Structure 1
């Protein structure tokens, strides 16, 4: 396999503006109130007057050892050889939700497709709609440049500058956070 790609989230820059979430929904024509391929979470640490807030914009982790791929009974979920991005073939997905149960991060979500039942939906790094400058639209839209996407070696270097680290887990998530 070619080099694994992934994300780096600079939490010192994220301002919880939701631009990444809105861009994703807009570019993928996702109806409001349904699935969200990218989510912004908030963590609060400490007690008054020493309180720290941290925001993280996360999507599919595009794991090196994805359990969703290993557990999909139809082969609808696969990992691309050229960059390690985990993708879904919705023509093969039967909506059984096995991938959802296997994913330790709760990433897979389901949308009802008229006449076909439920199909899994998740971040595909904008492969299904075309990337601009080889970047997902969430990265390009971030007004404070808190999101980055590329080869893991580059994401590791960016994270190291800020004292960040790779997210942990048995699946080896392809995400660095600082």
Structure 2
């Protein structure tokens, strides 16, 4: 069975934000919410600047799931971490637990009242029936049900952002590192997100 994962190759990312735009358009993401964002490390330092496209990493041991008091998070058979907006109470615990800043909360009203949490769904929709209007309204497109990969990864012009089966992605990245003459140590955050002992 496939385990869906994201990987961003920092050697290829050019900070074009195409992935961010693709996500917003495909999923009709509400104003003020960024399911995906591009983070630049050592910004402006010549030769050391690296950019990464970051979203929910669909962790094997997701801290958001561990801290949610109403258990609105669940994991699909493909390893995608999703949530039920109807169960969410907007407490914000997941926001503080996630090391990637994936959970986002819209600020509603003049006094910034927190709404229901929103995050990357790996273009896998939510608990409503696949392809339904209710699913699209709450969670966006369900490309996985259509046999497609997340649009952010498909739209990446340099193929820096990879999305799909974790084993396939790790093999692609391993080949790239070998061609570049590296060891794979530049893969930022893999052990933190997915644990040690294999990239599957």
- Shorter chain as normaliser: what TM range? 0.7 to 0.9
Task: Answer 1 or 2: which has greater strand percent.
Answer: 1
* CA–CA distance in structure 2, aligned partners of residues 98 and 44 of structure 1: 30
- Contact persistence 1:40–1:57 (CA under 8 A): yes
CA-CA distance at 1:44 after TM superposition = 2.6
TM-score normalised according to structure 2 size? 0.74
CA separation of 1:27/1:46 partners in 2, compared to 1, >3 Å: closer, same or farther?
closer
Relative contact order (C-alpha < 8 Å, sep 6+): which is higher?
Answer: 1
**Closer, same or farther in 2 for the Cα pair 1:90/1:112, shift >3 Å?**
farther
CA distance in 2, matches of 1:31, 1:104: 22
**What does residue 119 of structure 2 align with?**
122
Matches within 5 A, 1:107-118: 107-112=102-107, 118=115
Match of 1:55 in 2: 51
Distance 1:14 1:73, change over 3 A: same
Q: 1:59 and 1:77, CA in 2 relative to 1: closer, same or farther beyond 3 A?
A: same
The CA deviation at 1:23 is 1.0
User: Do 2:80 and 2:121's aligned partners in 1 also have CA atoms closer than 8 Å?
Assistant: yes
Q: Deviations over 1:6-51 (max 9, x none)?
A: 012122222111111011111121244x010011111238966xx2
Alignment of 1:11-160 (within 5 A): 11-32=10-31, 34-44=32-42, 51-80=47-76, 82-112=77-107, 118-128=115-125, 129-131=141-143, 133-160=147-174
Q: Which runs of 5+ in 2 are unaligned?
A: 126-140, 178-183
Secondary structure of the residue that 1:42 maps to in structure 2?
A: strand
Which 5+ residue runs of structure 1 have no aligned equivalent? none
Number of matched pairs: 167
Shift of 1:62: 0.4
